[in-house]
Amino acid sequence: MLAAAFALAPSIETFAQSETCVILLHGLGRTPLSMLPLKFALDLAGYRTVNQGYPSLVQPVEELAGTHVAEALAKCASAPDAPVHFVAHSLGGILVRQYLQDHEVPDGSRMVMLGPPNHGSELVDEFADDPWFTVMGPAALQLGTGNSGLPANLEPVNLEIGIIAGTRTSFDALLLQSAPLPEPNDGKVSLDSAGLPEMQDFLAVDETHTFILTDGDVMEQVVAFLADGRFLPAENEGEDERGGESEDHGEGGGGGEGHGGGESEDHGQGEDDA
DSSP code string of 173-227: HHHH-SSPPPSSB-SSSBHHHH--TT-SEEEEES--TTGGGG-HHHHHHHHHHHH
Contacts 24+ apart (CB under 8 A), 252-256: 252/119, 252/145, 252/192, 252/193, 253/182, 253/192, 254/192, 255/191, 255/192
Task: Write the pLDDT tens digit of every residue in 205-257.
Answer: 999 999 999 999 999 999 999 999 999 997 654 445 554 334 455 454 433 34
Domains present along the chain, CATH in parentheses: 2-228 (3.40.50.1820)
**Identity of residue 230:** R
User: CA angle at residue 60 from 168 to 63, to 5 degrees?
Assistant: 120
Whole-structure pTM value: 0.82
- Give residue 177's pLDDT band: very low, low, confident or very high (50, 70, 90): low
Q: Mean per-residue pLDDT for 185-202? A: 95
Q: Which of 103-117, 118-132, 222-236, 242-256 is the least confident region?
A: 242-256
Residues 199/261, Cβ–Cβ less than 8 Å: yes
Q: Distance (Å, rounded) from C-alpha 240 to C-alpha 260? A: 10
